């Protein structure tokens, strides 16, 4: 007999390849018993302990590490065989999971599939009228792409090990399998080098990972079925190397760790054999430290100015018949790839490295556009997509979700060429990201990208995605991620006040705003921001995608899309608008006391003013006398000006499109005027 809830969708993210709901559900209580059968290894035991800990966190049910539970397993996990000693691209991650009211079975070829299946089981645990349970279901699951990564930039802002680890936990939860670690940039060299200690000593302000910490992170990732691909960006993005080793550079220096953001001129000297001798030893050391098969050499954004200014390099170009700096970079890139190959690694590079003649082994990471990915595949190169997955741009989850590694020009590739497209990687560049707010810049939107890379082609229901992403977002905090909880702490710093009325107004403001999108923050900065600037402002504390605003827009759409007669909906819209209208006034006193609140005052005033315009549009709709064209223009112009005003606080008002629709509806000829 089917139970009442059996038609509800399964709350899994990423969606599995195939899932069917069964009848009834499996109770989860203190008698829960997990048993491993088949192939065993300590990593599976640890996964089991971690799983039980997570069940405990999700349910509050007491489960002792030294469990006395015996007898039939509630969840029996069968593993056929081991996975490779060093996790490899394309290893089998499939599993099936069968849940009945009497028990559950998880079956996978190797531990990798077990890790994936355990996460699915955890997502299925839910509170019910009888307590905690898992709905009966049969799931057969495997990933669409073998490379599903997250890149974290530890170069521009150092990201501590505990923050890295909790993000690895998050990656495991959404079945991502590659952690791409951007470990050096102009603003910091973050890896201890024992061969070249001045790299971290003089290139990091004391903020670097020891080799022990790196080994620990690699082990931690392996325990979760995640590969760690290190990146050392060369020949540009390398000022921090030159603080300790200026002889590697093409200019005469002196060099110091860069404090500003942007593209800078310092670049390695590709004409000096000393450079390759150094890199050979350095890559050798790092190749031993990072067991993964792949080794990222960067290769992006070389300005070429230091090369142009160095007569020796100009002479080298001439003597080697390199007609431009692209040719010189290709020469460097080729030499570098030889070194990587010599140390038994496969290189990965940003799409600039794709130039004629580059060896076919290199994996191309497309960031400047989708074209390079398809172009690379046509030429026989393997590639991964990051264009469209830059989390620091502040895009909505929906916008990231719409990007598909096999979409755009790649859709026209042959099946064989499509095979070369390995997957994708979300990237969080850390100009405006600190240990404090990084989780919020990654999560929950990264779950949408993870779903794009795991779930079957064509998975595209946005409402379902958002609903499951919200659920997953709350669950992720159980793993220790702070993408929701960070905000109160930051807002308390900004307010410097513990008056609940003031604080509530500030929170309501923060939750209605988003930070500026793409790379527009610099343009509105009062002074050029640097790595020394505190990330303590409202722009640093707001969510990249405002749930409050998204929900408001859905309601506004529903309202103007209907006959505008829904009184409950109207009341909800009015209540939200009424709150926004009052915010600016409620923050006046606080803005007098706190510099950080005062900096947000333009945005606060803009929100309140814009909400008044929307409120007045609602009144007009209700009265049934449409706005004149002049009135409409005036209102829309005002909204536009308010948008600009918010930019003074480096913020945007994501509800403006909804407000505009309301004004348009209030004007003549709109769909729902009475």
Report if residue 60 touches its own copies, rule: CB under 8 A: yes
Report if residue 61 touches its own copies, rule: CB under 8 A: yes
Cβ nearer to its own copies, comparing 511 with 622: 511
Q: Cβ(159)–Cβ(430) under 8 Å?
A: yes
65, 71, 356, 415: residue in contact with its own copies (rule CB under 8 A): 65
Instruction: Write out the two tokens for 235.
Output: 């020949």
Question: Closest approach of Cβ 492 to its own copies, in Å?
Answer: 5
Cβ nearer to its own copies, comparing 361 with 467: 467
Instruction: Write out the two tokens for 30.
Output: 């203190």
DSSP character at residue 96: E
Report if residue 470 touches its own copies, rule: CB under 8 A: yes
Question: Closest approach of Cβ 127 to its own copies, in Å?
Answer: 3
Per-residue CA distances from 365 to 238, 352, 371, 424 (Å): 19, 9, 11, 8
Q: Interface residues for its own copies in 281-340 (CB under 8 A)?
A: none
Backbone phi, psi, residue 553, to 5°:
-65, -40
Number of residues that bind its own copies (CB under 8 A): 55
Report if residue 471 touches its own copies, rule: CB under 8 A: yes
* Cα angle, residue 16 at apex, residues 168 and 180 outer, rounded to 5°: 25
The secondary structure of 553-590 as a DSSP string is HHHHHHHHHTTS--HHHHHHHHHHHHHHHHHHHHHHHH
Backbone phi, psi, residue 269, to 5°:
-85, 105
Question: Closest approach of Cβ 534 to its own copies, in Å?
Answer: 4
Rounded to whole angstroms, the Cα distance separating 85 from 458 reads 34
Give the range of 122-130, 365-373, 419-427, 661-669 binding its own copies by CB under 8 A: 122-130
Q: What is the largest CA-CA distance in the chain?
A: 83
β-pair type (421-428, 382-385): parallel
Cβ nearer to its own copies, comparing 207 with 393: 207
23, 64, 81, 309: residue in contact with its own copies (rule CB under 8 A): 64
Give the range of 223-231, 305-313, 339-347, 594-602 binding its own copies by CB under 8 A: 594-602
Q: What is the CA radius of gyration of the chain?
A: 27
Of 642, 633, 651, nearest to 541 (Cα)?
Answer: 651
Report if residue 551 touches its own copies, rule: CB under 8 A: yes
Residues pairing with 627 in the sheet = 667
Instruction: Write out the two tokens for 126.
Output: 């839910």
Give the range of 70-78, 128-136, 308-316, 407-415 binding its own copies by CB under 8 A: 128-136
233, 439, 451, 477: residue in contact with its own copies (rule CB under 8 A): 477
Question: Closest approach of Cβ 531 to its own copies, in Å?
Answer: 7
SS3 at position 346: strand
Q: Cβ(107)–Cβ(78) under 8 Å?
A: yes
Report if residue 28 touches its own copies, rule: CB under 8 A: no
71, 129, 415, 624: residue in contact with its own copies (rule CB under 8 A): 129
Q: Interface residues for its own copies in 202-241 (CB under 8 A)?
A: 204-207
27, 58, 346, 524: residue in contact with its own copies (rule CB under 8 A): 58
Cβ nearer to its own copies, comparing 402 with 435: 435
Backbone phi, psi, residue 460, to 5°:
-155, 15
Residues pairing with 365 in the sheet = 350, 384
Question: Closest approach of Cβ 241 to its own copies, in Å?
Answer: 17
Report if residue 66 touches its own copies, rule: CB under 8 A: yes
167, 594, 604, 608: residue in contact with its own copies (rule CB under 8 A): 594
Question: Closest approach of Cβ 207 to its own copies, in Å?
Answer: 7
Report if residue 478 touches its own copies, rule: CB under 8 A: yes
Report if residue 197 touches its own copies, rule: CB under 8 A: no
Report if residue 10 touches its own copies, rule: CB under 8 A: no
Rounded to whole angstroms, the Cα distance separating 87 from 227 reads 6
Report if residue 46 touches its own copies, rule: CB under 8 A: no
- Write out the H or E segment, with its range, that includes residue 323: none
Report if residue 39 touches its own copies, rule: CB under 8 A: no
Q: Cβ(310)–Cβ(250) under 8 Å?
A: yes
Report if residue 436 touches its own copies, rule: CB under 8 A: yes
Please tell me which residue in 301, 570, 572, 643 is annotated as part of the active site: 301
- Write out the H or E segment, with its range, that includes residue 653: none
Report if residue 577 touches its own copies, rule: CB under 8 A: no
Cβ nearer to its own copies, comparing 107 with 521: 521
Q: Cβ(28)–Cβ(59) under 8 Å?
A: yes
Instruction: Write out the two tokens for 415.
Output: 């099946």
User: Which residues, at least 6 apart from 43, have a Cβ–Cβ distance to it below 8 Å?
Assistant: 111, 222, 223
Cβ nearer to its own copies, comparing 60 with 669: 60
Backbone phi, psi, residue 560, to 5°:
-75, -25
Task: Judge whether 201 counts as a catalytic residue.
Answer: no
Question: Closest approach of Cβ 660 to its own copies, in Å?
Answer: 24
Q: Cβ(231)–Cβ(181) under 8 Å?
A: yes
Report if residue 62 touches its own copies, rule: CB under 8 A: yes
Rounded to whole angstroms, the Cα distance separating 225 from 84 reads 11
Report if residue 414 touches its own copies, rule: CB under 8 A: no
596, 613, 617, 651: residue in contact with its own copies (rule CB under 8 A): 596
- Write out the H or E segment, with its range, that includes residue 503: helix 500-512
Report if residue 523 touches its own copies, rule: CB under 8 A: no
Rounded to whole angstroms, the Cα distance separating 353 from 602 reads 44
Question: Closest approach of Cβ 446 to its own copies, in Å?
Answer: 17
Rounded to whole angstroms, the Cα distance separating 86 from 292 reads 7
254, 415, 500, 624: residue in contact with its own copies (rule CB under 8 A): 500
Cβ nearer to its own copies, comparing 15 with 322: 15
260, 335, 343, 598: residue in contact with its own copies (rule CB under 8 A): 598
Give the range of 124-132, 145-153, 164-172, 420-428 binding its own copies by CB under 8 A: 124-132
426-458: b (≥16 Cβ within 10 Å) or e: bbbbbbbbbbbbbbbbbbbbbbbbbbbbbbeee
Rounded to whole angstroms, the Cα distance separating 23 from 135 reads 8
Q: Interface residues for its own copies in 647-666 (CB under 8 A)?
A: none
Q: Cβ(149)–Cβ(179) under 8 Å?
A: yes
531, 608, 645, 670: residue in contact with its own copies (rule CB under 8 A): 531
Cβ nearer to its own copies, comparing 58 with 622: 58
- Residue with structure tokens 């355990």? 118
Backbone phi, psi, residue 245, to 5°:
-130, 70
Question: Closest approach of Cβ 159 to its own copies, in Å?
Answer: 14
Give the range of 220-228, 419-427, 517-525, 532-540 binding its own copies by CB under 8 A: 532-540
Cβ nearer to its own copies, comparing 31 with 419: 31
Instruction: Write out the two tokens for 409.
Output: 């020009």
Per-residue CA distances from 651 to 382, 557, 613 (Å): 39, 23, 19
Residues forming the active site:
301
User: Which chain residues interact with its own copies by CB under 8 A?
Assistant: 30, 57-62, 64-66, 126-131, 204-207, 434, 436, 470-471, 473-474, 477-478, 484-485, 488-490, 492-496, 498, 500, 531-536, 540, 547, 551, 592-596, 598
């Amino acid at each position: 007999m089917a139970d009442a809830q059996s038609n509800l969708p399964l709350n899994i993210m990423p969606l599995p390849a195939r899932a069917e709901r069964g009848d009834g559900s499996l109770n989860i209580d203190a008698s829960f018993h997990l048993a491993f059968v088949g192939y065993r290894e300590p990593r599976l035991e640890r996964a089991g302990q971690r799983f039980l800990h997570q069940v405990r966190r999700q349910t509050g049910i007491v489960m002792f590490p030294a469990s006395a539970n015996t007898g039939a397993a509630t969840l029996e996990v069968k593993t056929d065989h081991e996975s490779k000693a060093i996790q490899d691209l394309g290893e089998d991650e499939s599993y099936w999971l069968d849940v009945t009211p009497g028990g559950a079975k998880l079956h996978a070829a190797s531990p990798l599939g077990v890790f994936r299946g355990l996460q699915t089981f955890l997502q299925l645990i839910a509170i019910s009228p009888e307590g905690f349970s898992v709905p009966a279901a049969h799931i057969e699951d495997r990933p669409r792409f073998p490379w599903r990564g997250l890149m974290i930039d530890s170069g521009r802002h150092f990201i501590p090990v505990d923050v890295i680890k909790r993000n690895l936990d998050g990656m495991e939860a959404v079945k991502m399998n590659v952690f791409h670690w951007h470990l050096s940039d102009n603003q910091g060299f973050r890896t201890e080098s024992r061969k070249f200690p001045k790299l971290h000593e003089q290139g990091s302000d004391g903020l670097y990972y020891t080799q022990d910490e790196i080994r620990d992170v690699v082990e931690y990732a392996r325990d979760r079925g995640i590969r760690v691909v290190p990146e050392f960006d060369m020949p540009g993005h390398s000022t921090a190397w030159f603080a300790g080793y200026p002889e590697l550079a093409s200019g005469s220096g002196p060099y110091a760790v860069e404090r500003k953001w942007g593209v800078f001129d310092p670049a390695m000297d590709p004409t000096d054999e000393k450079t390759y001798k150094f890199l050979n030893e350095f890559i050798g050391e790092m190749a031993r430290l990072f067991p993964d098969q792949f080794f990222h050499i960067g290769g992006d954004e070389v300005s070429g100015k230091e090369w142009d200014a160095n007569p020796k390099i100009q002479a080298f170009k001439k003597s080697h018949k390199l007609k431009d700096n692209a040719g010189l970079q290709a020469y460097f890139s080729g030499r570098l790839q030889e070194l990587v190959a010599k140390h038994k690694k496969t290189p990965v590079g940003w799409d600039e490295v794709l130039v004629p003649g580059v060896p076919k082994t290199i994996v191309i990471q497309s960031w400047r556009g989708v074209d390079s990915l398809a172009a690379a595949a046509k030429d026989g190169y393997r590639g991964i997509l990051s264009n469209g997955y830059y989390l620091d741009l502040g895009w909505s989850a929906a916008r990231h979700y719409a990007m598909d590694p096999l979409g755009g020009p790649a859709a026209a590739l042959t099946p064989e060429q499509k095979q070369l497209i390995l997957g994708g990687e979300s990237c969080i560049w850390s100009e405006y990201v600190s240990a404090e707010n990084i989780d919020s810049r990654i999560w929950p939107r990264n779950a949408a990208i993870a779903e794009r890379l795991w779930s079957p082609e064509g998975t595209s229901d946005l409402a379902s995605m958002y609903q499951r992403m919200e659920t997953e977002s709350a669950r992720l905090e159980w793993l220790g991620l702070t993408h929701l909880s960070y905000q109160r702490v930051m807002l308390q710093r900004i307010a410097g006040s513990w008056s609940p009325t003031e604080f509530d107004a500030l929170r309501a403001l923060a939750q209605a705003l988003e930070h500026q999108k793409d790379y527009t923050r610099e343009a509105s900065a009062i002074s050029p921001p640097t790595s020394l600037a505190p990330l303590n402002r409202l722009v640093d504390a707001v969510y990249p995608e405002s749930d409050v605003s998204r929900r408001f827009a859905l309601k506004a759409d529903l309202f103007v899309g209907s006959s505008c007669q829904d009184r409950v909906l109207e009341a909800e819209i009015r209540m939200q608008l009424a709150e926004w209208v009052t915010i600016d006034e409620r923050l006046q006193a606080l803005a007098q006391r706190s510099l950080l609140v005062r900096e947000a005052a333009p945005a606060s005033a803009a929100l309140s003013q814009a909400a008044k315009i929307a409120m007045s549009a609602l009144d007009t709709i209700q009265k049934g006398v449409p706005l004149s064209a002049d009135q409409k223009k005036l209102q829309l112009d005002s909204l536009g000006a308010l948008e600009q005003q918010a930019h003074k606080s480096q913020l945007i008002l994501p509800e403006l499109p909804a407000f505009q629709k309301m004004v348009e509806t209030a004007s003549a000829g709109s769909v729902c005027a009475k």
